[in-house]
Amino acid sequence: MKKFSDHNFENQRALIRVDFNVPIKNGTITDDTRIRGALPTIKKVLDDGGSVVLMSHWGRPLKDIEKKPNLTLADFSLKPVVSYLSKLLNTEVQFAEDCISEDAMQKAANLKPGQVLLLENLRYYKQEEKGDKDFSEKLSKMGDVYVNDAFGTAHRAHASTAVIAQFFPGDKKMFGLLMEGEIIAAEEVLHNNKKPFTAIIGGAKVSDKILIIENLLDKATDIIIGGGMAYTFFKAEGGQIGNSLCEDDRLDMALSLLKKAEEKGVSIHLPSDSIIADKFAADAATSSALSNEVPAGWMGLDIGQMAIAQFKKVICESKTILWNGPMGVFEMDKFQHGTKAIAEAVVEATSNGAFSLVGGGDSVAAVNKFNLADQVSYVSTGGGAMLEYFEGKELPGIAAIKN
Ligand code: 3PG
Ligand code: MG
């Protein structure tokens, strides 16, 4: 495997798999983190005197159109990225309306040093997700060197993320700078961590987080559990949780996680109190309660003041912090305080020397909302990919280049 920074791209075309699966509303990009994340890789190729062919997916066009026939492929176009990226790069980005057409091939072949071409959404073709070999081979003809910089999609064994790598010799396939940075940050947390190591796990469902918690039981000293998933633990222990979120089919599992943690000497911290609401709405009536004594008709939508103090103490004493998932419904102002306080505690610990990694769509949205993203050590561009990495899985997009 060649190191990207050691490669000179002069007069070469880099075919870069990026993850431009960014939120776009009415043609406007509302969060450009992933696009900005790919810029250093693109710029290095251009600065070397090479040219760039970018490929990405956006959304899940074929699956969504099957469910909602009023949608068309045009609703999933990467076109809005063209002018946006042109501005960021200060150079006109070309566009090919079909990722493997003759026209796309021609445009890629005609690229001159310093030029950039973006291919239309790879998932217009079912072959992309199927990891079709012929489709992968066709894509591979678009560049001289294959660069995978799509950490956000590294958990998919798709044509452009994994299968394509076999069509490039070892010295012509490599990770981009974003992918490298993501792997270094994740390894820092998983394998080079300083103790105490606290994992903060939140979000709605325990079922989504079982594997990551199980894997972290062998690595972390402390696991903080917040968000809707906490109530499954309280109910499993016999608490009253009112109308709070609960996965009744996961009660046994919650108990078994607590038991395993005890056996392994890992401290699990559940939020002692909650901000409760009479309905799931921004204008709900609110009160506070112990998290295992939520009155009937009420639901916990954020962690309470005691829980904030309890969690802050653990976080501020940590040397390594992993944060995946919010503490409450931070999208609604009434229920954002817990998540905000935890974000501030992570920032404080970081300023005192801890290494902190924030990942997973919602916690990243939270640190962005509170303008704290630049005050933690690393913000991951991976949602599902980040989760699977910390579950201990080998990601196909990484394996394809490494092995
Ligand atoms: C993501 O945002 O999760 C990645 O871009 C991968 O997309 P997917 O979940 O549709 O495969
Ligand atoms: Mg996903």
**What is the DSSP track for 25-71?**
ETTEES--HHHHHHHHHHHHHHHHT-EEEEE---S-HHHHHHH-TT-
Instruction: Say how many Å lie between the first and final Cα of the chain, rounded.
Output: 8
Q: What percent of the chain has pLDDT over 90?
A: 96
For ligand 1, is residue 361 a contact (CB within 6 Å)? Answer: no
CB 161 within 8 A of CB 146: no
Q: Please state the pTM of the whole predicted model.
A: 0.95
Query: In this model, does residue 321 exceed pLDDT 90?
Result: yes
User: Which one of the ligands is nearest to 21 CA?
Assistant: 1
Which one is catalytic: 43, 79, 205, 260?
A: 205
How much distance in Å is there from the Cα of 153 to the middle of ligand 2?
8
Q: How many helices (H) and strands (E) does the chain have?
A: 15, 19
Active-site residue, 384 included: yes
List, for residues 139-187, the tens digit of each pLDDT value: 999 999 999 999 999 999 999 999 999 999 999 999 999 999 999 999 9
- Average confidence (pLDDT) over 333-342: 98
Is 19 touching ligand 1 by the criterion CB < 6 Å? yes
Tokens of 304: 């309470």
Give long-range contacts, CB 8 A cutoff, 24+ apart: 182-185: 182/151, 182/380, 182/381, 182/382, 182/386, 183/151, 183/398, 185/357, 185/377, 185/378, 185/380
Nearest to 207 by CA among 164, 254, 167, 175: 254
Q: How far is the CA of 137 from the centre of ligand 1 (A)?
A: 22
Contact 153 CB / ligand 1 (< 6 Å): yes
Q: What is the pLDDT of residue 285?
A: 98
Residue of 143, 361, 383, 397 with catalytic role: 361
Query: What's the pLDDT at 271?
Result: 98
Burial of 162 (0-12, 13-18, 19+ CB in 10 A): buried
Share of the chain above pLDDT 70, in %: 100
pLDDT of residue 360: 86
Nearest to 339, CA basis, from 365, 378, 377: 365
- Whether the per-residue pLDDT at 403 is higher than 90: the answer is no
Tell how far the Cα of 160 is from the centroid of ligand 2, in angstroms: 16
Between CA 53 and CA 120 the distance in angstroms is: 11
Q: How many CA atoms lie within 13 A of 108 on its CB side?
A: 30
Give the H/E segment covering residue 24: strand 24-25
Report the sign of the C-alpha dihedral through residues 202, 185, 381, 170, in that order: negative
Q: Is the pLDDT of residue 361 over 90?
A: no
